[in-house]
């Protein structure tokens, strides 16, 4: 058990000796050598064990010897400085044997370092500082280790850092700036990019000569670009300028780095400066044109969605596209905290916004998707501190659920403070599941399929409603949001967090568990007006009708008239259990399943008039306006005349399509055509762009 504020844990009576530690470690290393390419698991944080990242500089902490570490204790206000005396054993983290200035040895486990960090493989001989270390038992009685969960709690010290105690000091390994630069070049050629960055940094520290510094900055910029450390690459590129005509390279690299950060406006400025100095350079021209295309998408929302879909492959789900966000803005919400709002009127079906994922790993394996997103979030926050602003600002649960120090994302001791428990809370509260492309999996009966998990910062500001005015879909890592009804400027935009369950208490249980809220949408508020006895009755009738329907599935067999009559009877009872004053203008979700079943059963028997009857009920029960054969109506009116409490789903599209088929069979061609047009508009809301309704059958 961890020591609390009131209890002080004891210093362990005995610990493993250095000899024993090294011997066991070497045995582990031997095993590792025999399977060098084993995949590295991700150690995902357990939120109930959360503790904050150190927000202090190592220079503010009291440095203590390893022998003073207490078991199961977070040593607040303290730090240790140790030399790594073994190669690392690399698994979910990197485990090494370390030694302090007094000759005490211990085990150090460093987790959550990205491959781009030199600390992901903690080189033997380096000296590190662990801030506010967490010391814990490792199973056996005298087996302990320092466990570093937060990546910013461990700092690689430069060899010349005066904080290193005399006994651990090696002095600089290499003498001159030129030596370090050459070492960097060698590491670069060997593709050891983190070491190359380290060596170029030492080279830059060792020389003040601008004619040496400029090309070294250029080298480090290029290496950081390869590592995806775009903030650092941009800073290095700009630092490499000399004021001469060769600066085109600095602007070019800076432009590429800004592009990597999806800051296309800045990228455009830098690339334009590069072009000015070197107008005929084909690489700059190409990057500049690419940047212009992104700016065009951001400004207009013009995308070639079919081409984007066609470009997806198992290796490529990250689309090189800009985000179109200008129809929306973040502002305070009457429902909860911040929300997303319309900045202009939008028509049903129109693009509300299109957002490129802030972070989405190409990992659709259900068992790995969450861990992969978590690992990517940690890596990117370490590698590109400018991301911290938008990502760490996201909602992470009610105040007090997880205390922030306020230092998260700020640079302390040269690295951004990254709190992995906060990252995990933000992930669970804000991430979306995304299929490779929504259109590939829309058949109403299709199983959910493989989904990646991703973070879309802009979309994350949207609150939930069970009867939302927008619908999201995906093509690769692009989230497409479309209006499901006409939206007025200034209106709050809502989305469904998860598919809503028919029973009000069941679905709200999910919202409470996942996000800590009770929904106050028109449907939930309305349904809660039903007396408890009626809620119970509906629950029972729903269970009974589902049981009956599940016995025979209309897609597979011809349903006997007697069974249809039984389902119809129960559906009628269920319908009667909806009070007209409560359900005026809101969906009756418990009726969807039996009505869909009845549509399919009657389709199987070619009872077209009955198909029309029950498909219209499906529309009604999703809260939509129901067209009338005897009146003049426009297909868009399905979405525009339905009030503000309809629930758009692929079942609505399927119902409209079934209606169209049945009307056609009955000789009502005009109704059939209008229903098809309405279905096509609805299918665009569901899939994100215009798609052939026939893909519904795949």
Ligand X SMILES: C[S@@+](CC[C@H](N)C(=O)[O-])C[C@H]1O[C@@H](n2cnc3c(N)ncnc32)[C@H](O)[C@@H]1O
**Which chain residues interact with ligand X by CB under 6 A?**
333, 335-339, 395, 429-430, 460-461, 463-465, 515-517, 519-520
Instruction: Give Cα separations from 330 to 92, 324, 520 (angstroms).
Output: 38, 14, 20
Q: Coil, strand or helix: which one is 570?
A: helix
In the complex, what is the shortest distance from the CB of residue 339 to ligand X, in angstroms, rounded to a whole number?
6
How, if at all, do strands 351-356 and 478-483 pair? antiparallel
In angstroms, the CA 233 to CA 227 distance is 9
- Under a CB-based contact definition with an 8 Å cutoff, are residues 114 and 376 in contact? no
Smallest distance from ligand X to CB 648, Å:
17
Residue 449 or 514 having the CB closest to ligand X: 514
Helix (H) or strand (E) holding 26: helix 18-34
C-beta of 460 vs 530, nearer to ligand X: 460
In whole angstroms, the minimum distance from the beta carbon of 486 to ligand X comes to 21
Q: DSSP labels for 347-375?
A: -TT-EEEEEE-SB--S---HHHHHHHHHH
Measure the CA–CA gap between 683 and 432, rounded to whole angstroms.
Answer: 21
Q: Closest separation between CB of residue 360 and ligand X, Å?
A: 16
Instruction: List CB contacts of 221: < 8 A, sequence separation 6 or more.
Output: 233, 234, 236, 237, 240, 250, 253, 254, 257
Nearer to ligand X, 430 or 649 (CB): 430
For residues 223 and 190, what is the distance between their CA atoms, to the nearest angstrom?
12
Residue nearest to ligand X (CB): 337
- Encoded tokens for 363: 């990992």
The token pair at 380 is 């990117």
Measured from the CB of residue 328, what is the shortest distance to ligand X in angstroms?
Answer: 13
**Which helix (DSSP H) or strand (DSSP E) does residue 341 occupy?**
strand 338-342
Q: Which is nearer to ligand X, 342 or 684 (CB)?
A: 342
CB nearer to ligand X: give 263 or 492. Answer: 492
Q: How far is the CB of 687 from ligand X (least distance, A)?
A: 23
d(CA 271, CA 288): 6
483, 460, 263: which is closest to 351 by C-alpha? 483
Least distance to ligand X from the beta carbon of 519, Å? 5
Q: What does the block give as tokens for 649? A: 């789903």
Closest CB to ligand X among 214 and 519?
Answer: 519
Which is closer to ligand X, CB of 146 or CB of 504?
A: 504
Shortest distance (Å) from residue 91 CB to ligand X: 33
- 306 alpha carbon, distance to own chain's centre: 24
Q: Which residue has 């009974």 as its token pair?
A: 544
Q: How far is the CB of 444 from ligand X (least distance, A)?
A: 26
Nearer to ligand X by C-beta: 179 or 520?
520
CB nearer ligand X, residue 173 or residue 401: 401
The first and second tokens of residue 664, run together, are 């056609």
């Amino acid at each position: 058990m961890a020591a609390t504020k009131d209890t002080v844990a004891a210093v362990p009576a005995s610990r493993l000796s250095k000899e024993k530690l090294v011997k066991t470690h070497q045995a582990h290393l031997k095993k590792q050598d025999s399977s060098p390419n084993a995949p590295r698991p991700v150690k995902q944080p357990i939120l109930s064990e959360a503790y904050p990242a150190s927000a202090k500089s190592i220079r503010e902490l009291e440095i203590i010897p390893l022998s003073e570490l207490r078991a199961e204790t977070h040593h607040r206000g303290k730090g240790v400085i140790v030399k790594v005396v073994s190669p690392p054993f690399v698994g979910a983290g990197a485990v090494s044997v370390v030694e302090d200035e007094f000759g005490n040895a211990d085990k150090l486990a460093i987790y959550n370092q990205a491959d781009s960090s030199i600390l992901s493989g903690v080189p033997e001989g380096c000296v590190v500082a662990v801030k506010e270390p967490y010391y814990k038992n490792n199973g056996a009685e005298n087996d302990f280790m320092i466990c570093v969960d937060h990546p910013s709690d461990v700092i690689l010290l430069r060899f010349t850092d005066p904080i290193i105690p005399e006994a651990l000091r090696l002095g600089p390994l290499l003498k001159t700036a030129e030596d370090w630069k050459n070492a960097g070049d060698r590491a670069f050629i060997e593709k050891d990019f983190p070491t190359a960055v380290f060596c170029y940094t030492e080279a830059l520290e060792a020389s003040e000569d601008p004619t040496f510094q400029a090309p070294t900055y250029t080298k480090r910029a290029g290496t950081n670009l390869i590592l995806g450390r775009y903030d650092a690459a941009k800073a290095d590129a700009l630092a490499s300028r000399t004021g001469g005509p060769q600066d085109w390279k600095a602007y070019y690299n800076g432009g590429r780095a800004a592009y990597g950060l999806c800051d296309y406006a800045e990228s455009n400025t830098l690339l334009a400066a590069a072009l000015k100095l070197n107008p005929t350079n084909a690489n700059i021209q190409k990057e500049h044109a690419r940047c212009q295309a992104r700016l065009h998408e951001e400004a207009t929302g013009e995308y070639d969605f079919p081409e984007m879909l066609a470009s997806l492959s198992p290796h490529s789900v990250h689309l090189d596209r800009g985000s179109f966000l200008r129809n929306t803005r973040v502002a305070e919400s009457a429902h909860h905290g911040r929300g997303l709002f319309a900045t202009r009127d939008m028509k049903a079906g129109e693009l509300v916004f299109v957002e490129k994922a802030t972070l989405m790993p190409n990992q659709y394996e259900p068992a790995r998707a969450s861990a992969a997103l978590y690992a990517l979030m940690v890596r990117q926050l370490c590698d590109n501190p400018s991301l911290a602003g938008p990502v760490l600002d996201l909602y992470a649960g009610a105040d007090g659920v997880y205390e922030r120090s306020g230092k998260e994302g700020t640079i302390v001791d040269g690295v951004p403070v990254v709190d992995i428990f906060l990252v995990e809370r933000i992930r669970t509260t804000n991430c979306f599941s995304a299929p490779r492309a929504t259109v590939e999996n829309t058949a109403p009966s299709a199983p959910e399929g493989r989904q990646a998990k991703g973070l879309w910062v802009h979309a994350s500001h949207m609150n939930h409603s069970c009867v939302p005015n927008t619908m999201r879909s995906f093509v690769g890592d692009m989230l497409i949001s479309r209006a499901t009804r006409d939206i007025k400027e200034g209106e709050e935009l809502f989305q469904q967090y998860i598919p809503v369950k028919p029973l009000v208490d069941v679905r709200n249980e999910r919202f409470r568990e996942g996000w800590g809220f009770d929904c106050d949408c028109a449907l939930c508020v309305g349904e809660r007006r039903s007396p408890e006895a009626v809620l119970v009755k509906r629950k029972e009738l729903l269970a009974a009708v589902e049981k009956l329907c599940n016995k025979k599935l209309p897609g597979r067999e011809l349903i006997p008239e007697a069974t249809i009559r039984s389902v119809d009877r129960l559906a009628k009872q269920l319908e009667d259990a909806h009070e007209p004053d409560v359900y005026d203008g809101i969906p009756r979700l418990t009726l969807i399943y039996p009505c869909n079943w009845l549509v399919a059963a009657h389709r199987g028997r070619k009872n077209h008039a009955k198909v029309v009857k029950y498909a219209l009920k499906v529309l009604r029960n999703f809260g939509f306006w129901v067209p009338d054969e005897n009146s003049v109506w426009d297909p868009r009116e399905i979405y525009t005349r339905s009030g503000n409490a309809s629930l758009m789903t692929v079942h609505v599209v399927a119902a409209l399509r079934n209606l169209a088929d049945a009307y056609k069979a009955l000789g009502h061609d005009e109704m059939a055509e209008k229903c098809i047009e309405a279905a096509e508009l609805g299918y665009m809301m569901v899939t994100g762009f215009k798609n052939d309704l026939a893909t519904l059958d795949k």
